[in-house]
A and B are shown apart, each in its own frame.
Chain A
């Protein structure tokens, strides 16, 4: 479990992280979503003691990171896959981690296999690695201590579609075994596919957080019917919100079951009924970050 409490980090007059609080729970994948420069990486660096907070605190399983006797055994961290000595081989980088943590040597080949790096690839120097291979090596470094908490900054960057799928399954499996997974991304789709809980951040502040289902629900329902105006009146009469989207559909905050029931009772034949999910989170992402992200006006 990761607990972030009233965390603030300032650089001079610039506030990179502004009084944020959230919890990443065991058994769940928590997606840390926000546009570039929103403060995700700063928050994650504070979590693992690389950056000092200006105020507030982060605890991992109840302890500050620097109080963990052998942090690699409790927390797997991947902040920047490219931050490695370019002259070392992949195997050597993993071996240094294994030695530092005091793990048996067999963990190195085990992890290389787990992340799908071949023996030949492991013997190559990291400067010759693609970003995808570096990410795999970074994941191996994070997993080698069999930690119960994973903190991953943009882990899907540079992975091909098969690699993204592999990463998703791996993290899902980790969470299903009771692990805590916190991963950041500036890509909504990535988070939408894998996360159970979402923390959305813009300009250093949390703009929204909750379970994915809650957030999807909040995005509402899209409904189409032959008599759109009649349906709208029926919904409003039931105390539900409804507004035309402008392309022949209604958008409502009610869930699809409720909308269907209202339509049935009022006798309207529906032509389309679905959660406003596909575009839902994205719309929310753009809305919520519109005021804060760089090219907000375009959103």
Chain B
């Protein structure tokens, strides 16, 4: 074992409190016999992210979760072609149809990437190999967001193909009513949803629990807010500042740029419903006992 790829210090780099310390402290005692090792460096974040990406695909459930992104996009596209009335055979119809399964699957991917370390107990090895848990979590976040962005681009591409195919089959004119700006906002909206899942994974650290919490977050709470807004005048003006789903809904509208106030709504609800609990979850993860 001479070459340890990625851990070899370039010539002249001082040892990063590496093997010299060991030699120093064990002087006079029998040292462990092995071939000399280059300076040991901290595990780079890029490598951790690659490993976390791999862990998202390398189980049957993980693989099918990823595959379901493509499968559900294809099914949704097919359904629009078959069932949508001719005048609604537009790109935004395809986008909306594909968007719904995405809004469920992407947060699940983020949730499971975090909670499986606890539910499957693999964290015992993960956090022993990398004792700085914050770095593992950061790597998971980067990998999850990366998967989210790529999935959305893929879904939008499948939708575009569906639009081409659908209009050709039905002989209707092509309607491209999602601008690049709209597409970017949709991707952002889905990434925010994915991050909410990620946050719930950190706070709850249990797969079924976090998934249930996500559905409460994205379906039960918005319904309560909806009813409240419909019946209570005072709440109606408050809703965009309180209801995170409501605040983020303009992102999915494919209706051009957002107003300053809409961005402010997203920011305020984001701090309250995403950022603050995310920080709590991070603290819990870094301090809690891994068993």
Write the residues of chain A forming the contact surface with B, with a CB cutoff of 8 angstroms: 1, 25-27, 45, 48-52, 61-63, 65-74, 77, 79-80, 82-88, 92-93, 96-97, 99-104, 107, 141, 146, 148, 177-180
Interface centre among B16, B32, B55, B58, by most chain A C-beta atoms within 10 angstroms, is B32
- Nearest Cβ on chain B to A29's Cβ, whole angstroms: 13
- In angstroms, Cα B42 to Cα A72, docked, is 11
Write out the residue numbers on chain B whose beta carbons fall within 8 Å of the beta carbon of A102. Answer: 4-7, 43, 47
Q: Please name 7 pairs of A and B residues whose Cβ atoms are closer than 8 Å in the assembled complex, sorted by A.
A: A1-B26, A50-B128, A61-B21, A66-B132, A72-B129, A85-B122, A97-B125
- Nearest Cβ on chain A to B280's Cβ, whole angstroms: 18
* Known contacts A79-B124, A80-B124, A96-B51; A107 and B1 CB within 8 A of each other: yes
* Known contacts A50-B127, A71-B131; A99 and B29 CB within 8 A of each other: no
Q: Apart from A82-B121, A83-B123, A96-B51, what 5 extra A-B contacts exist at CB < 8 Å?
A: A50-B128, A61-B22, A77-B128, A88-B58, A177-B33
- In angstroms, Cα B287 to Cα A52, docked, is 8
- In angstroms, Cα B25 to Cα A63, docked, is 10
Interface centre among B17, B61, B124, by most chain A C-beta atoms within 10 angstroms, is B124
- Nearest Cβ on chain B to A271's Cβ, whole angstroms: 43
Write out the residue numbers on chain A whose beta carbons fall within 8 Å of the beta carbon of B31. Answer: 26, 148, 178
Cβ–Cβ contact A48 & B128, under 8 A: yes
Write out the residue numbers on chain B whose beta carbons fall within 8 Å of the beta carbon of A88. Answer: 58-59
- In angstroms, Cα B129 to Cα A49, docked, is 10
Cβ–Cβ contact B121 & A84, under 8 A: yes
Cβ–Cβ contact B51 & A1, under 8 A: no
- In angstroms, Cα B60 to Cα A100, docked, is 21
Cβ–Cβ contact B25 & A70, under 8 A: no
The 3 closest A-B pairs by CB, nearest first: A148-B32, A87-B59, A62-B25
- In angstroms, Cα B224 to Cα A154, docked, is 52
Interface size on B, residues (CB 8 A): 53
Cβ–Cβ contact B37 & A45, under 8 A: no
- In angstroms, Cα B291 to Cα A68, docked, is 21
- Nearest Cβ on chain B to A235's Cβ, whole angstroms: 40
- Nearest Cβ on chain A to B136's Cβ, whole angstroms: 10
- Nearest Cβ on chain B to A63's Cβ, whole angstroms: 6
Cβ–Cβ contact B40 & A69, under 8 A: yes
- Nearest Cβ on chain A to B261's Cβ, whole angstroms: 45
- Nearest Cβ on chain B to A147's Cβ, whole angstroms: 8
Cβ–Cβ contact B47 & A99, under 8 A: yes
Cβ–Cβ contact A51 & B289, under 8 A: yes
- Give the residue name and chain of the B residue nearest to A1 (CB): B26
* Known contacts A69-B17, A146-B1, A146-B34; A85 and B120 CB within 8 A of each other: yes
Cβ–Cβ contact B121 & A104, under 8 A: no
- Give the residue name and chain of the A residue nearest to B133 (CB): A49
Write out the residue numbers on chain A whose beta carbons fall within 8 Å of the beta carbon of B30. Answer: 26-27, 178
Interface status of B283 (Cβ within 8 A of chain A)? no
Interface status of B276 (Cβ within 8 A of chain A)? no
Cβ–Cβ contact B125 & A141, under 8 A: yes
Write out the residue numbers on chain A whose beta carbons fall within 8 Å of the beta carbon of B264. Answer: none
Interface centre among A69, A72, A80, by most chain B C-beta atoms within 10 angstroms, is A69
- Nearest Cβ on chain B to A58's Cβ, whole angstroms: 12
Question: Which B83-127 residues have a C-beta within 8 angstroms of A?
Answer: 116, 120-125, 127
Interface status of B236 (Cβ within 8 A of chain A)? no
Write out the residue numbers on chain B whose beta carbons fall within 8 Å of the beta carbon of A68. Answer: 131
Interface status of B138 (Cβ within 8 A of chain A)? no
Cβ–Cβ contact B4 & A50, under 8 A: no
Mask: chain B, 1-43; 1 = CB below 8 Å from A; 0 = not: 1011111000000001110011011100111111001001111
Cβ–Cβ contact A69 & B33, under 8 A: no
Which of A70, A92, A93, A177 interacts with B32 by CB under 8 Å?
A177
- In angstroms, Cα B31 to Cα A25, docked, is 10
Cβ–Cβ contact A61 & B4, under 8 A: no
- In angstroms, Cα B5 to Cα A107, docked, is 12
- Nearest Cβ on chain B to A57's Cβ, whole angstroms: 14
Cβ–Cβ contact B58 & A92, under 8 A: yes
Cβ–Cβ contact A70 & B43, under 8 A: yes
* Known contacts A102-B4, A104-B5; A69 and B43 CB within 8 A of each other: yes
Interface status of B48 (Cβ within 8 A of chain A)? yes
- In angstroms, Cα B128 to Cα A84, docked, is 13
Interface status of B157 (Cβ within 8 A of chain A)? no
Write out the residue numbers on chain A whose beta carbons fall within 8 Å of the beta carbon of B55. Answer: 85, 96
Interface status of B79 (Cβ within 8 A of chain A)? no
Cβ–Cβ contact B122 & A100, under 8 A: no
Which of B4, B7, B62, B124 interacts with A83 by CB under 8 Å?
B124
- In angstroms, Cα B287 to Cα A257, docked, is 56
- Nearest Cβ on chain B to A97's Cβ, whole angstroms: 7
- Give the residue name and chain of the A residue nearest to B21 (CB): A62
Which of A63, A66, A71, A148 interacts with B34 by CB under 8 Å?
A148
